[in-house]
Amino acid sequence: MQASPLDVLKRYFGYDAFRPGQEALVGAILAGRDVLGVMPTGAGKSVCYQVPALALAEEADQGEKTAVDDANLGASVPATLTLVISPLVSLMGDQVRALKEAGARPAYFNSTLTPRQQDVVLERARRGWYQIMYVAPERLQDPRFQAFAATVRIPLVAVDEAHCVSQWGQDFRPSYTAIAAFIAQLPQRPVVAAFTATATARVREDIVRILELNDPFTLVTGFDRPNLYFGVEELGDNAKTARVLAYVRQRPAESGVVYCSTRKAVDALWEELCREGVRAARYHAGLPAAERSAMQQAFVVDDCPVMVATNAFGMGIDKSNVRYVIHYNLPESIEAYYQEAGRAGRDGEPAQCILLWNGHDLAIRRYLIDQTEPHGGAAEDADALTEEQLAQARANRYRLLKLMEGYCRTAGCLRGYMLRYFGEDVDTAGAEGPVGDPGAAGSAPVGYRCGNCSNCLGTFEEVDVTPLAQAIVRCVGEMGGRFGKTRVVEVLRGSESEQVLHAHLDDLPSYGTVRESAAQVRAVMDQLAGRGFISVSDGRYPVVGLGPRAAEAQQAGFSFALKSSRKQDARAAARAARARVDALLGTDDAKRDRPGVDAELFEELRALRKELADEAQVPPYVVFSDAALRAMCRRRPATDEEFLAVPGVGEKKLARYGETFMAAIAQYEDGVRAE
Ligand code: ADP
Ligand code: ZN
């Protein structure tokens, strides 16, 4: 008989209930149906395949016993295990460690194992040691692995980060396209369960088609993470460093990540923070492996509260108490941003995601797109692209970058912009953004307001710039789509530059019709481009042309507003927003005093957790999450039953840590009573 999913969830992971979407996906898998789960990072995708994997393995174990009982001795029953295909080695190590802690029997198979170790793992798997095995995608082509797969029973193949099959996104991995062929040559077709945090319609279609999912049950859970505050601040390079320094100093006990776009930037910022006495770690692919893992460890076990890193950091880090993620540079896409920022507040407690950017960042991003292969340092193998694939990847990246730029420039709700990007219908009234296909930038100055982002909380003035907007669109039309932004600005402002005169642009009707500053003209141009009135081509030397909505600009009733672009105003507004947010969320001291949570007891349990974690050589959150500790403070469990009822406590955790924690709680209560 199959154990109920809820029972498995409770016994291994200690959770009382499934999160939205999890139950339906688990149910569909156990009913034998392929699934596609689209969930934001941190929503709990792993549980969706781990619970079925464990339930299926337990069922098989029982089946075997029955076979033995039936005196069916000698007939060797093939081992049953679930395969999880995942592109990241670091993810596997962590997941396997966490599953072991929960009392499961996991393994991984990738090229970090020596050939000898690989043989041992496969042999043990054949003998039924494991319930679940993580496999790197390129291992599926290994003849030894294929031979192994033919001898065991594989009821379920889970594909993590399934968007890697699509050339339309940014993480294309050629080895993912061979997954379907691998599955097809298995003796029995398993249920195939695909998971991703990338939700654009195009990528979703690619996943279903290329993985050959069979009429999958598809579930897209809400991308909204209400506990996350989103902020955008346009700052010069020096001001960014000062901002980060002030921010981390304000929260010495909180854990946070600062992402930079290059290794050089990581090193520079890290050195600056260290010089200023901040306990910071750093991480990028250019560091020796030993230093990388030491730094990662220092951050994960809370020895260093701040981690300065490139995007190579974090894929496999399930540290739930990250209180802020600051982006020191512009990320390459909304997906990348949402994934990285989403590492904040996985425990559901308030957390902040702040993006610092400037025009220089954009130039660097364009340069990076032109220069580099589209694989980050976290990739395990040299999953190489052909020339054609590379060209397509670059074009995609330009498109995605433009939408990222739109996020920085929008005057509308930041959360709304992202949700719309991910295809959520946040608010149809007044929303101008794309729904589904992110073909045009989503900028909705009116409409959806979340009340927890810098644009909703800020006091940005909306300035009416209708005549200027119309002049720009008219001028762009006259110039015939052959010139860049600088020329357009020069023509409008009546410049006598050599290029203008040489091309006879001073003959155009629009020549010299505008009085506003060059910066103001550029700001309005950017917004016009973001909302589809003009277009700016991709590439390093973008050319300005008319957009699909150009005609609207000359119609009666057209109006166009701009978020105040005067620097002083913007700074003051950002400061005001910051003050309000700090008051709303509270800084360290205010935050520890949560209703019903005794700060002193919490600190004691935290120290105990750190001690036990160091002893077991695991990160503290693997022992218990902050949320679990807080629940203990509130409930003060004194019996095994009460301890089991704490969210995040399973049987294994009770057996291993229950006594120690309950003793600490009892001792604390005695102390309080004695006072
Ligand atoms: P994802 O893979 O979607 O990024 P994870 O699977 O790593 O997310 O889960 C994120 C966090 O949520 C983990 O700490 C996990 O233990 C926790 N979690 C998952 N499911 C539940 C649940 N049903 N109840 C409480 N916490 C959960
Ligand atoms: Zn908002």
Q: What is the pLDDT of residues 361-372, one digit of tens each?
A: 998 898 888 886
Question: Topology of domain 228-409, per CATH?
Answer: Rossmann fold (3.40.50)
504-512 mean pLDDT: 93
User: Does residue 47's CB lie within 6 angstroms of at least one atom of ligand 1?
Assistant: yes
| Architecture category of domain 586-674 in CATH | Orthogonal Bundle (1.10)
Task: Identify the pLDDT of residue 193.
Answer: 98
13-26 mean pLDDT: 92
Question: Topology of domain 466-559, per CATH?
Answer: Arc Repressor Mutant, subunit A (1.10.10)
- Nearest residue (CA) to ligand 1, atom 27: 44
- Nearest residue (CA) to ligand 1, atom 26: 15
Q: How far is the CA of 456 from the centre of ligand 2 (A)?
A: 4
Closest ligand to the CA of 321: 1
Task: Identify the pLDDT of residue 592.
Answer: 41
Point out the least confidently predicted range of 176-185, 376-385, 453-462.
Answer: 376-385
**Ligand 1 atom with minimal separation from the 45 CA:** 3
Task: For residue 264, name the pLDDT band (cuts at 50, 70, 90).
Answer: very high
Task: Identify the pLDDT of residue 563.
Answer: 63
Task: Identify the pLDDT of residue 68.
Answer: 45
Q: How far is the CA of 558 from the centre of ligand 2 (A)?
A: 25
Give residue-wise pLDDT tens across range 175-204: 999 999 999 999 999 999 999 987 677 888
Task: Identify the pLDDT of residue 200.
Answer: 77
Task: For residue 574, name the pLDDT band (cuts at 50, 70, 90).
Answer: low
- Nearest residue (CA) to ligand 1, atom 15: 44
Could you tell me the residue ranges of all domains in the chain? Answer: 5-220, 228-409, 466-559, 586-674
Residue type, 42: G
- Nearest residue (CA) to ligand 1, atom 20: 44
Q: How far is the CA of 412 from the centre of ligand 2 (A)?
A: 7
**Ligand 1 atom with minimal separation from the 197 CA:** 3
**Ligand 1 atom with minimal separation from the 647 CA:** 25
User: Does residue 44's CB lie within 6 angstroms of at least one atom of ligand 1?
Assistant: yes
With 60 as the cut, is the pLDDT of residue 67 above it?
A: no
Task: Identify the pLDDT of residue 519.
Answer: 82
Closest ligand to the CA of 407: 2
Closest ligand to the CA of 158: 1
Closest ligand to the CA of 419: 2
555 or 108, higher pLDDT: 108
State percent of the chain over pLDDT 70.
Answer: 86
**Ligand 1 atom with minimal separation from the 621 CA:** 14
**Ligand 1 atom with minimal separation from the 15 CA:** 24
DSSP per-residue letters across 536-605: E-SSSS--EEE-TTGGGGGSTT---EEE---HHHHHHHHHHHHHHHHHHH--HHHHH--TT--HHHHHHH
With 90 as the cut, is the pLDDT of residue 548 above it?
A: no
Q: How far is the CA of 383 from the centre of ligand 2 (A)?
A: 39
DSSP per-residue letters across 611-631: HHHHHHTS-HHHH--HHHHHH
Q: How far is the CA of 22 from the centre of ligand 1 (A)?
A: 10
Give the pair of three-digit tokens for residue 586.
């509270």
Ion ligand 2 nearby residues (CB, 5 A): 413, 415, 450, 453, 456
User: Does residue 346's CB lie within 6 angstroms of at least one atom of ligand 1?
Assistant: yes
Domains 228-409 and 466-559 share a fold: no
- Nearest residue (CA) to ligand 1, atom 25: 15
User: Does residue 105's CB lie within 6 angstroms of at least one atom of ligand 1?
Assistant: no
With 70 as the cut, is the pLDDT of residue 565 above it?
A: no
User: Does residue 46's CB lie within 6 angstroms of at least one atom of ligand 1?
Assistant: yes
50-58 mean pLDDT: 96
User: Does residue 15's CB lie within 6 angstroms of at least one atom of ligand 1?
Assistant: yes
With 90 as the cut, is the pLDDT of residue 561 above it?
A: no
Long-range contacts (CB closer than 8 Å, 24 or more residues apart) made by 236-245:
236/358, 237/358, 237/360, 240/328, 240/356, 240/358, 241/269, 241/272, 243/356, 244/269, 244/273, 244/326, 244/328, 244/356, 245/272, 245/273, 245/276, 245/278
Choose from 167-171, 364-368, 373-377 the range with maximum mean pLDDT.
364-368
State percent of the chain over pLDDT 90.
Answer: 49
671 or 334, higher pLDDT: 334
Give residue-wise pLDDT tens across range 413-441: 999 999 888 877 776 533 333 333 333 33
Q: How far is the CA of 358 from the centre of ligand 2 (A)?
A: 21
SS3 assignment, position 9? helix
| Residue with the two structure tokens 């999450």 | 625
Point out the least confidently predicted range of 86-100, 124-138, 573-587.
Answer: 573-587
Give residue-wise pLDDT tens across range 268-304: 999 999 999 999 999 999 999 999 999 999 999 889 9
Q: Give the chain's mean pLDDT.
A: 85
239 or 88, higher pLDDT: 239
d(CA 12, CA 100): 10
Q: How far is the CA of 192 from the centre of ligand 1 (A)?
A: 21
Task: Identify the pLDDT of residue 69.
Answer: 45
User: Does residue 41's CB lie within 6 angstroms of at least one atom of ligand 1?
Assistant: yes
Q: How far is the CA of 417 from the centre of ligand 2 (A)?
A: 9
With 90 as the cut, is the pLDDT of residue 464 above it?
A: no
Task: Identify the pLDDT of residue 459.
Answer: 56
d(CA 244, CA 236): 12
Question: Topology of domain 5-220, per CATH?
Answer: Rossmann fold (3.40.50)
With 90 as the cut, is the pLDDT of residue 541 above it?
A: no
Closest ligand to the CA of 415: 2
Task: For residue 599, name the pLDDT band (cuts at 50, 70, 90).
Answer: confident
CB neighbours of 321 closer than 8 A, spacing ≥ 6? 255, 346, 347, 349, 621, 625, 626
With 80 as the cut, is the pLDDT of residue 576 above it?
A: no
- Nearest residue (CA) to ligand 1, atom 18: 44
**Ligand 1 atom with minimal separation from the 625 CA:** 14
Task: Identify the pLDDT of residue 595.
Answer: 57
With 90 as the cut, is the pLDDT of residue 347 above it?
A: no
Q: How far is the CA of 430 from the centre of ligand 2 (A)?
A: 15
659-666 mean pLDDT: 89
d(CA 494, CA 581): 44
User: Does residue 43's CB lie within 6 angstroms of at least one atom of ligand 1?
Assistant: yes
With 80 as the cut, is the pLDDT of residue 66 above it?
A: no
- Nearest residue (CA) to ligand 1, atom 9: 44
Task: Identify the pLDDT of residue 564.
Answer: 57
User: Does residue 318's CB lie within 6 angstroms of at least one atom of ligand 1?
Assistant: yes
**Ligand 1 atom with minimal separation from the 18 CA:** 23
